[in-house]
Amino acid sequence: MKHLNDKTDEELALSYINGNNEAFDLLLSRNQNKLFSYILFVVRNRDLADDLFQETFVKVITKLHQGKYTTSGKFSAWVMRIAHNAIMDWYREQKSSKVIDATKDNDLSNVGSNELLDENIEALYVRHQVMNDVTKMMNLLPTTQREVIYMRFYQNMSFKEIAETTGVSINTSLGRMRYAVLNLRRMAKEHHVTLQID
């Protein structure tokens, strides 16, 4: 029989359903940092993120006990989906929507892959400054766009995983990413911010 630490998250979830509370403790410890970081990034308020994190795990426990978890996918993706729904429910309750419209003169022609830097002091400073600027501008994006950027670039999720987690089609996920990039480029242009790391 496998020791708890050797079990996958999916196996731990099933073990918890069968009455092993230690399995849930391990599931929580494995997933809490990634999940809390995601929630905090989206809502940008630590107290609210704490509340939504707790609400998410209450829902996880409830759904596990109700038998609403199947091992057909990744446990972490399932939990992220629950967190996403909790965040969206909160936003709906607040009825707050900030929309940034893309302008016609934005394009994706200069968006390229990440390039490696020579890790010297100047390059580190430039990279740090660019990331600070990007983070400030990302905070101005609508929630759905900020969320897809976070999942794609900070959690390395595929567009398929993003679509499954957020409950939309892959095309919708790609569209949100496109508008997020367009909005970031527009904001960078308006504020004369250079986002390129050479």
Provide the residue ranges of all domains of the chain, joining segments of one domain with +: 4-97, 121-191
Instruction: Evaluate if residue 103 carries a pLDDT over 60.
Output: no
Confidence of residue 122 (pLDDT cuts 50, 70, 90): low
CATH of segment(s) 121-191: 1.10.10.10
CATH of segment(s) 4-97: 1.10.1740.10
DSSP state for residue 6 in the 8-state scheme: G
Tokens of 198: 């050479």
161 vs 173: CA distance, rounded Å: 10
184 CB burial (10 A radius; 0-12, 13-18, 19+): buried
Q: What is the pLDDT of residues 3-59, one digit of tens each?
A: 889 999 999 999 999 989 899 899 999 999 999 999 998 888 999 999 999 899 889
39 vs 146: CA distance, rounded Å: 11
77 vs 188: CA distance, rounded Å: 32
Q: What is the pLDDT of residues 150-174, one digit of tens each?
A: 888 888 888 888 999 999 998 898 8
Torsion of CA 26, 31, 33, 35, to 10 degrees: -150
DSSP state for residue 154 in the 8-state scheme: I
State residue 103 phi and psi, 5-degree precision: -95, 160
> Percentage of residues in the chain with pLDDT exceeding 70?
79
pTM higher than the cut 0.75: no
Q: Mean pLDDT, the chain, as a whole number? A: 80
